[in-house]
Amino acid sequence: MEQTMRNFFLFLSKNKPMTKLAKKYGLRFGAGRFVAGSSIDQAVEAIRQLNSQNLVVTIDYLGEFVDNEQEANEMALECVEAIRAIGREKLKSQLSLKMTSMGLDLSEDVVMKNMRMILEEATKQDVFVTIDMEDYSRCGKTIEIFKRLKSEYDNIGTVIQAYLYRTEKDIEELNAYSPNLRLVKGAYKESPEVAFPDKKDVDDNFKKIIKMHLLNGNYTAIATHDDVMIDYTKKLVEEHNIPRDQFEFQMLFGICVERQHELVKEGYKMRVYVPYGTDWYGYFMRRLAERPANVAFVLKGVLKK
């Protein structure tokens, strides 16, 4: 039943007509729990509150299915505005973005132009930028663009997904770049030809790449709500005397909030992934797919209205 629900919500996440309806009618039906409003001003308020609780942040201006260069350029300008807001308000925040929203599916020229514009502003404001990973069909292109940009800018990282067979090789090849990587299990529906179909194999690979990247001496963001993975990381860093300034934990806005505060109290850096914007539908559907408890929460909220 759980896998059926996951597949259903992942299917909905790619539905373009539903995405357009969601943008039109705004943050309703429980999405506000996971999305910090539709504007940068609302996101800034959320970041301030999190910073006051000793939580650091990465914000993401949500956007999917960019169909033309004008939309990609507008998305890039929104990212620049977000970076300026972080600098102006002196927030403890980074920026995350998707390559498709920058024009990845349009042309290399468009995506590189937009990324360089963003990274130039991020360099001025001393803001770190993470390239989010998307589905398998875009994985290789995203990594190649990251390598090119990493040779030009220091303030850039990307995301590696444990459920892909190619991931161990990617970690090995990226080590030459001393990369700052966010390690995740993965949230897209993929073919068993390219991704581990069984949870145990994904978990085992997640542990493997956490260990690989940390022992390579690179900065590692362990993005998970799984206590098993969190405890594994704690034991690993203690066993190998890895300093706490070489890694951090990351969790999603609105999920496992108490656990986030516990990790801060224990002295770990805890970063909250805070999305905002009107194009929230695809992100919201993937959050429902990841955790059945999220579905129950949303239904409870809707019935109360």
Q: Catalytic site residue 182?
A: yes
Helix 292-304 vs helix 281-290: crossing angle, to nearest 10: 120
* Sign of the torsion formed by the C-alpha atoms of 66, 92, 224 and 260: negative
Give me the catalytic one of 6, 60, 170, 182. Answer: 182
Radius of gyration, CA atoms only, the chain? 18
Q: What is the DSSP string of 142-204?
A: HHHHHHHHHTT-SSEEEEEETTBTTHHHHHHHHGGG---EEEE---S---TTTB--SHHHHHH
Q: What does the block give as tokens for 175?
A: 């080590």
Q: Catalytic site residue 201?
A: no
Cα–Cα dist 217/297, whole Å: 40
H/E element, 196: none
Residue in this structure with the two tokens 């850039």, named with its chain if needed? 156
Give the number of other Cβ atoms within 10 Å of residue 79's Cβ: 26
State the catalytic residues: 132, 182
